[in-house]
Amino acid sequence: MKIQIINGPNLNLLGTREPGIYGEMNFEAYLEELRNEFPGVEIGYFQSNIEGEIIDKLHQTGFSADGIILNAAAYTHTSVAIGDAVKAIKTPVVEVHISNIFSREDFRHVSFIAPYCRGSIAGFGLSSYRLALMSFIGI
C-alpha cells in the first residue's frame, strides 16, 4: 500500500514553530516513527510552502497512490485551487490538522478542501496523521 503525506506552508518548522500549539517534535522524527510502526506501508512525504507545488504533488500522486494525507496548513482556509485539485484526482484524500482548527480563530473554521475529502481529522497533535493512516489501512 502506498500512502502519500503532503504538508503545506510552515510545517517545515514543526518542533520550533509555536510548540504550545504544534508540539516539540519535528516532522522527520515523527515520520520515522510512523514508518517503523507501519513497515508494510510505503509512506511518501512531501512538504512545500508553495501552493502550486502542493497542487503538482496532488496531480503526480493522485492517480497512483492508495491514499493521500493532506495538511494544507493555512492554504486550507484560502485555496480554491487546492480544493479543485483534490476534487480532480482519483486517490482518496484525508485532510488532517495537528491543532483543533475549530477551537481557534474563526477564519480557521473554514476549509476549502474538506468537501472533497474522504474525511477530516483535527486536534490530535501529530497523531492526527497516524489516525488518517489507520483509516486507509482499515484499522
Residue with cell 491543532: 99
Burial class from Cβ neighbours inside 10 Å (0-12, 13-18, 19+) for residue 21 reads exposed
- Residue of 55, 98, 117, 133 interacting with ligand DQA (CB under 6 A): 98
- Residue of 31, 41, 74, 131 interacting with ligand DQA (CB under 6 A): 74
Would you call 59 a catalytic residue per the annotation?
no
Cross-strand partners of 70: 6, 95
Regarding 71 and contact with ligand DQA (CB under 6 A), the answer is yes
Q: In the structure grid, which three cell numbers stand for residue 1, read together? A: 500500500
- Residue of 25, 31, 41, 73 interacting with ligand DQA (CB under 6 A): 73
Q: What residue type is assigned to position 122 of the chain?
A: A
Regarding 101 and contact with ligand DQA (CB under 6 A), the answer is yes
Count of residues in contact with ligand DQA, rule CB under 6 A: 10
